[in-house]
Amino acid sequence: MGHAVRPRKGYRAAVKSCLVVDLGLIGYAEAYALQKRMVAARKAEAMGDVLLLLEHTPVITQGRNGKREHLLVSENVLRQRNVEFYESSRGGDVTYHGPGQLVGYPILQLGAIRKDVVWYVRMLEEVMIRTSAEFGVSAVREPGKTGIWVADEEKNFTQNAGRARSAPGEQIAPKKLGAIGVHISRWVTSHGFAFNVATDLRNFDLIVPCGIAGRKATSLEKLLERAVKVSDVARVMVRHFGDVFGVENKLGSREELFEMLELAGQAVAVPV
């Protein structure tokens, strides 16, 4: 199921640096506004490439290609459950973000790496696939679908060997472990990926995840049947991000990022 996609040969020759900033738990609207400022600065070459890592407070977002009917409850129900709703400029349909989910927003000048949107999406998948493998989970791509999937929970882990949860011969539909929705303007990327680490999966029942009926979401914690820290997954994810995109990661603070944006705003018209 799926196929291997490799980074372009030879593109590592000129290693670039990428600032990695962990924003912690942050609301969607605040992160969205921050991305817009960063994209403007990156387009003006007033700042370099940055990978934002974060967790969102509970929110359902609808991408440019999303259908409102894929939100299965009213906004009143969302308010009662303290789940926000936003329309987003990213690609894709409807998805859920919340605590326990590792979200990555790369703000990259893709033109300096490879001008290929499909390749970029496949590489984000590759980062999540490699990260999953390091935790003992065999995640794959599915033809015609974006993101990464776990084909059969019963066969993924040696600790589950011999513990059948389905009838013999019954097909188990692959479950989604990581989602992708990106936006690219003048080859500067924004939005990105969402990887379910310890996410409350019940909130995915409020939507048709990514507009694909009959498919469920899963998480690393559910698959491994043990607690998993988002911070532990983040460290692994950052390393694979650097390897896949051929960049040298440099850890930075939130304060450093905002200082950089303030300086960029003095040089160019960066929206606030």
Q: How far is CA 93 from CA 32, 146, 180, 209, 227, in A?
A: 17, 11, 10, 8, 29
Calpha distance 269→272 (Å, rounded)? 9
Calpha distance 231→229 (Å, rounded)? 5
DSSP state of 167: -
pLDDT of residue 80: 83
Provide the domain count of the chain: 1
pLDDT of residue 14: 52
Q: Which domain holds residue 23?
A: 16-158+171-266
Q: Which residues of the chain have pLDDT under 70?
A: 1-15, 64-70, 91, 152-172, 208-214, 267-272
Whole-model pTM over 0.75: yes
9 located within any domain: no
1 located within any domain: no
163 located within any domain: no
Calpha distance 170→152 (Å, rounded)? 11
pLDDT of residue 85: 87
pLDDT of residue 169: 43
Query: Token pair for residue 32?
Result: 């969205």
Q: Is 18 a catalytic residue?
A: no
Which residue in 210, 237, 247, 260 is the catalytic one?
210
- CB of 86 closer than 8 Å to CB of 62: yes
252 located within any domain: yes
Residue 183 corresponds to which amino acid? Answer: H
| Alpha-carbon dihedral angle through residues 149, 106, 93, 80, given to the nearest 10 degrees | 100
Average pLDDT of the chain to the nearest whole number: 85
pLDDT of residue 267: 62
Query: Token pair for residue 235?
Result: 């460290």
State the CATH number of the domain containing residue 250: 3.30.930.10
- Which residues face 18 on adjacent strands? 49, 249
**b/e per residue, 225-257, with b = 16+ CB within 10 A?**
eeebebeebbebbbebbbebbbbebeebeeeeb
271 located within any domain: no
pLDDT of residue 74: 76
Q: Residue 32's CB: how many other CB atoms inside 10 A?
A: 17
pLDDT digits (tens, 9 = 90+) for 180-214: 999 999 999 999 999 999 999 988 888 766 556 56
272 located within any domain: no
Q: Residue 71: phi, psi to the nearest 5? A: -90, 115
32 located within any domain: yes
- Which residues face 53 on adjacent strands? 22, 104
Q: Residue 101: phi, psi to the nearest 5? A: -110, 125
pLDDT of residue 173: 80
pLDDT of residue 84: 87
